[in-house]
Structure 1
């Protein structure tokens, strides 16, 4: 049985030797020379990667990290899924490659700030510490190029289910994993039929009345807290629903996730913010060579 995540495991994750690599396999992604980045931005926010689960889209995230260059990279919680690793250890090579890629970015000059969430709450024991150049913080205030202040938090501390009924949150997490497993089988069939990827869990989240109400309550709670803090807006994750909108004069930004939506929030050099749909970006990149080879 694997030891639970603690300081020794964090040191293993941040080791240049990559102690979690699968035996006999080359760590290809983390140490390969990067291609010229296609997106140069001032800051980027990613969250809800859920390394340690079968649902994690590690290859897509590696592609994002290769093509996006930023001064500051925020890891806004649930990067490692401690809840899942407690139940069943799952750590393929691609997940180790993501960790090593993040550490490599930190070594090469990107400021990497990790704000733990509920699934990687073990890291909250190490606030104000640095592992391999990755700073661990409870929250952050980011100032954009145009002077706006954004409060950065994972968001679970403002989720009533997490705070008041943890057993219900754990049950929901188990059901969510089941939905993702079902979704993988469904999309395997859709791929054979030539149909595009479709997220069952995302569909349920947006269509089930109680789920829609939960998302709305979560957004309102965070907007109220940001208003109390006197900031212009906030960046969070947690609910796996990328969005950027005004809530009563507060700019609410959710960077999404790397399980369902494959999205990130970025700040451009002029201070403007944008949600990048990386699945769509990869699809366009794949279509371009095909279009160039088509006869006129």
Structure 2
């Protein structure tokens, strides 16, 4: 396989879409990886496997409609494999495999059959000291945008997924790119005050537009840099509740076509006003695990 990813929006040709098959039982509160899942476990509203399978099938149907090759992970019994973006990412012709939470190592093995045909020199495994997840890594042409947390209390946050060592490693791995890091707001207990990944509070769309949530960023000047980079008129600002519902975590099939959740009324209206084709899908159950469309897709090839 010849990988090719330069940005978030060029025409998609091949992608890994996670799976909710054999997702396992509702986790215990103490085993939740994020505050939103924890909230739904406590409330008795954690999503059911059959509902999540239907939602992911709706996404696959849209991808197939646009002639995208869709790969799915090998099924591991009673194991959450929904969020394919966490475990790897592609930039240019390289795939970088995550140093993920130890409990999730098997997810990587379940996708190995897909990328094992890539040239060995293009399969990158960073040192164990480099922590990252793909939701924090966002290629945008000459830039790589990276969500991170560099506080001394990093180890106290299960929601802190990408560290400074990973940012520095990316600079060495892609010296021809500008690696731009953004400090994200983290909370283990309040999902409305937690940007689990960069794509939970920001995402570029089209050629020159973006969705953003100001409070997801710890440093206001870093948020402002993004607004200035894209231009205020090209930026759609989402509220705290819209961030909680994952409005920034949509997924681009091309510069003109976006898959979005059917309940994102304000966002979807704005997208259509900007000339986008919006393919609406039900994804509110999967959103209960603090991830949405970008989190559950991992692009391999774009034109």
Greater relative CO (CA pairs within 8 A, separation 6+): 2
Which one has the largest radius of gyration?
1
TM-score, reference length from structure 2 = 0.28
